[in-house]
Amino acid sequence: MIVVLLGPPGCGKGTQGERLAAALNIPKISTGDVIRAAMKAGTPLGVEAKSFYDRGDLVPDALILDIVREALAAPEQARGAVLDGVVRTVPQAEGLAVALASLNRPLDLVLKFDIADDELVGRLSSRMVCEACQSPFMGRTPGELHAECPKNPKGRLVRRKDDEPDAIRNRLKVYHAQTAPVVEWYRANEGPLTSIDARGTVDEVEERVRAAAGLA
Ligand SMILES: [Zn+2]
């Protein structure tokens, strides 16, 4: 079973992907993981990817898809994989379709996690770190910004730049701009796209994911 995960930052798709992969007894593959693995193994594609990293350049889509294709052709992925972060844009959706066709494997499920932007801004901006000991703290309220670190009275809680509300809204704007055409593309190509309501607890969302994947 090949499953693609689509969803905005903070929607919980990473955790849900891990749970689904475990339930299906298949690996979860993220783009970053397979690129790092290929570089570490020193495969020809990995060496090529490393040359981009070393120059500080982004690894091009075509190369990423070749690496994903190679990973999917490996015996560990014979029963399938949950793909996280592989499809974010229409060219990536097209590229994955070509790669899967060349491996003679169908795409079984595309899970799109839906949640309101305001809820994501609330969730992500509640993530703080101690500027002294770097400990992460989740579920903080705005009033706790610059509060004392529970582990170290000298430390203060701050947000990462990426977790500031304005930065989150920008990331969400990019996500929506990229994802709307991907959804249209899957609809136009009769892709197995299912929307998942990503509100609620991790367990509640997992129930919906399992139902969508045909697990009782
Ligand atoms: Zn601290």
How confident is the model over 60-115, as pLDDT tens digits?
999 999 999 999 998 888 899 999 999 999 999 999 999 999 999 999 999 999 99
Residues with beta carbon < 5 A to ion ligand 1?
Answer: 130, 132-133, 149, 151-152, 155
Q: What is the pTM (predicted TM-score) of this model?
A: 0.87
pLDDT in tens, 177-202: 999 999 999 999 888 999 999 999 99
Task: Name the CATH architecture for the domain at 2-26+79-212.
Answer: 3-Layer(aba) Sandwich (3.40)
Supply the pLDDT for residue 78: 87
* 160: annotated active-site residue: yes
User: Ligand 1 centre and the CA of 140: distance in Å?
Assistant: 14
Supply the pLDDT for residue 76: 86
* 173: annotated active-site residue: no
The CB-side HSE value for 3 (13 A sphere, CA atoms) comes to: 31
User: What mean pLDDT is reported for the chain?
Assistant: 93
Percent of the chain topping pLDDT 70: 100
* 208: annotated active-site residue: no
* 88: annotated active-site residue: yes
* 140: annotated active-site residue: no
Percent of the chain topping pLDDT 90: 84
* Catalytic residue of the set 127, 156, 199, 210: 127
pLDDT in tens, 152-171: 889 999 999 888 999 999 99
The span from the CA of 56 to the CA of 20, in Å, is: 34
Supply the pLDDT for residue 180: 92
Supply the pLDDT for residue 12: 92
The span from the CA of 8 to the CA of 116, in Å, is: 10
Reported confidence tier of residue 44, pLDDT bands at 50, 70, 90: very high
The span from the CA of 9 to the CA of 145, in Å, is: 21
Residue 216 pLDDT > 80, yes or no?
A: no
- Asked whether the beta carbons of 132 and 27 are under 8 A apart, the reply is no
Supply the pLDDT for residue 170: 94
The span from the CA of 157 to the CA of 147, in Å, is: 6
Supply the pLDDT for residue 198: 96
* Catalytic residue of the set 69, 112, 123, 171: 171
* Catalytic residue of the set 79, 151, 154, 160: 160
The span from the CA of 184 to the CA of 166, in Å, is: 27
* Catalytic residue of the set 13, 28, 123, 159: 13
Q: Stretch 118-131: mean pLDDT, rounded? A: 92
Supply the pLDDT for residue 100: 94
User: Ligand 1 centre and the CA of 33: distance in Å?
Assistant: 29
